[in-house]
Amino acid sequence: MKEVIKVRGGRRLAGTVKVEGAKNSALKLMAATVIGAGCSTIENVPDIADVDIMAQVLTTLGAKVERGDHKLIIDTSALDSYETPYELVAKMRASISILGPLIARYGCAKVAMPGGCQIGSRKLDMHIAGLESLGVQFETSHGFIHASTPNGLHGADFMLEFPSVGATENLMMAGIAAKGETIIDNAAREPEIVDLANMLNAMGACVEGAGSPTIHIEGRNDFHPCVHRTVGDRIEAGTFLVAGALCGDGVTVLGADPKHLNLPIRKLRQMGCEVETGDDGAITIKRHGEIIPADIQTLPFPGFPTDLQAQFMALSAIANGASVITENVFENRFMFASELTRMGADIRLEGHHALIQGVRQLSGAPVASPDLRGGAALVLAGLVAEGETVVSAIEHIDRGYERYVQKLAALGADIERCPAL
């Protein structure tokens, strides 16, 4: 049954919210369990739709997935396939993260080609070029990628053209089983890369330098299951920090590492918020004065995260002046802007730039989530809009946010989830 999120603006938020484990790590940690045959446990897993889909990908391969409270027990002892079906990959492009693990374990894989999505073409050329440097041969036919390693996997020194998160992850997961040393240059440095490297090392791999632009891998041939706790979700945390920036009288976010949010926190302070970080990793935000406009450039980590771009655009929309947001990571990640305009925002798009002229107040309206982060940002805009905002297509939000409505309501928002009319 289709549902919508209704939010009525005007409330102030206060209190503490605990974020879950990172979606953009948990999905890859799940895929990595294929490498070590046996029973692995992943803790701090968010209860979100994308985890359900990755669990289906694993069970399609023959794994057994048992779900506990934010915990997965995954038994990959008896996999009986190395093929991932189109309908699952089409639902979630992150399924492509199964490519590296299948190649590491079986030396071959058959994965449906993921389509593009609303935010861009989401190509795979860097994944393929990197894996080819390790000896993988590819054929594409009938919408599937067929990977094989007729001469086995061998180490290589490969430089990524762009620090692609997914390509870095697939290269790491295949590289740990390659004969000899692999060096990944211009590697992605996201905290989720470090989290995955830590789990691979716990499985018997030898990965050094994750989090830096150069990752060194000493190939091994014997991997075992492990127990691993997913790193906290910096993007979910950043989303709630923006909620606090919009209408917070002291919102405390627990569960993420403040060091993973250096630039967003700096931006929030520039925009007039008071942000305190505690020794326990708690981040507390409040704002009483006006929102000061600030320009934002999205970049690979440690640059400003593209996954917080829409949320900060909602904040800029009611700043006291003009801001420029430049999207450098994806080619088409401004669809949220057109929905926000329907709420009265004054935004002009010029290529990769969004020119935002702050308005005094947004007005509640029926809007549709264009994608995961845009949907979450529309709800944030509704928190400060005059009247009621009805957000539809909220299945996008459910992909990456656990109990988003409940968490905002617990902070004092006037918000509910209800059947679409």
Check binding of 263 to ligand EPZ (CB under 6 A). no
* Position closest to ligand EPZ via CB: 166
Q: How far is the CB of 208 from ligand EPZ (least distance, A)?
A: 21
Q: How far is the CB of 251 from ligand EPZ (least distance, A)?
A: 22
Find the binder of ligand EPZ among 372, 377, 380, 383 (CB under 6 A). 372
Q: Which positions from 6 through 45 interact with ligand EPZ, judged by CB under 6 A?
A: 23-24, 27
Closest CA to 228 of 18, 19, 21, 59: 21
Find the binder of ligand EPZ among 198, 306, 316, 323 (CB under 6 A). 306
**Kind of pairing, strands 181-185 and 157-159?**
parallel
Q: How far is the CB of 137 from ligand EPZ (least distance, A)?
A: 17
Pattern of binders to ligand EPZ over 165-194, x per CB under 6 A?
xxx--------------------x------
Nearest 10 degrees: Cα torsion 21, 26, 29, 31 = 160
Find the binder of ligand EPZ among 40, 60, 84, 164 (CB under 6 A). 164
- Token pair belonging to 269: 């302070």
- Please, what is the angle between helix 191-202 and helix 165-175, to 10°? 10
Q: How far is the CB of 266 from ligand EPZ (least distance, A)?
A: 18
Q: How far is the CB of 252 from ligand EPZ (least distance, A)?
A: 23
Beta bridge partners of 373: none
Residue 225 phi/psi, 5-degree rounding, is -65, 170
From 6-14, 123-131, 142-150, 273-281, span contacting ligand EPZ (CB under 6 A): 123-131
Check binding of 233 to ligand EPZ (CB under 6 A). no
Pattern of binders to ligand EPZ over 90-119, x per CB under 6 A?
----x-------------------------
Find the binder of ligand EPZ among 6, 110, 127, 234 (CB under 6 A). 127
Query: How many angstroms separate the CA atoms of 126 and 220, rounded?
Result: 24
**Kind and range of the H or E run holding 397:** helix 395-398
Check binding of 144 to ligand EPZ (CB under 6 A). no
Q: How many residues bind ligand EPZ (CB under 6 A)?
A: 26
Which residues neighbour 348 within 8 Å (Cβ) at sequence distance 6 or greater? Answer: 354, 355, 357
Q: How far is the CB of 307 from ligand EPZ (least distance, A)?
A: 5
Q: How far is the CB of 38 from ligand EPZ (least distance, A)?
A: 25
Q: How far is the CB of 116 from ligand EPZ (least distance, A)?
A: 9
Please, which contacts does 50-54 make with residues 24 or more away whose CB atoms are closer than 8 Å?
50/23, 50/92, 50/94, 50/399, 50/400, 51/23, 51/26, 51/27, 53/88, 53/91, 53/92, 53/95, 54/26, 54/27, 54/30, 54/92, 54/94, 54/95
Strands annotated E in 129-213:
137-141, 144-148, 157-159, 181-185, 207-208
- Cβ nearer to ligand EPZ, comparing 71 with 93: 93
Check binding of 126 to ligand EPZ (CB under 6 A). yes
- Is 230:26 a contact under the CB 8 Å cutoff? yes
**Can you tell me which residue has the tokens 């931006």?**
267
Alpha carbon separation from 175 to 130, 167, 205, 344 (Å, rounded): 10, 12, 9, 50
Q: How far is the CB of 272 from ligand EPZ (least distance, A)?
A: 26
**Kind of pairing, strands 227-229 and 39-43?**
parallel
- Cβ nearer to ligand EPZ, comparing 247 with 368: 368
From 52-60, 161-169, 243-251, 405-413, span contacting ligand EPZ (CB under 6 A): 161-169
Q: Which of 117, 206, 226, 418 is catalytic?
A: 117
Residue 206 annotated in active site = no
**Can you tell me which residue has the tokens 């991997």?**
223
Pattern of binders to ligand EPZ over 322-341, x per CB under 6 A?
-------xxx----------
Query: How many angstroms separate the CA atoms of 292 and 243, rounded?
Result: 16
Residue 415 phi/psi, 5-degree rounding, is -145, 145
Find the binder of ligand EPZ among 68, 120, 152, 180 (CB under 6 A). 120
- Is 245:315 a contact under the CB 8 Å cutoff? yes
- Please, what is the angle between helix 99-106 and helix 125-133, to 10°? 20
Check binding of 400 to ligand EPZ (CB under 6 A). yes
Catalytic residues: 117
Q: Which residues bind ligand EPZ (CB under 6 A)?
A: 23-24, 27, 94, 120-127, 162, 164-167, 188, 306-307, 329-331, 372-373, 400
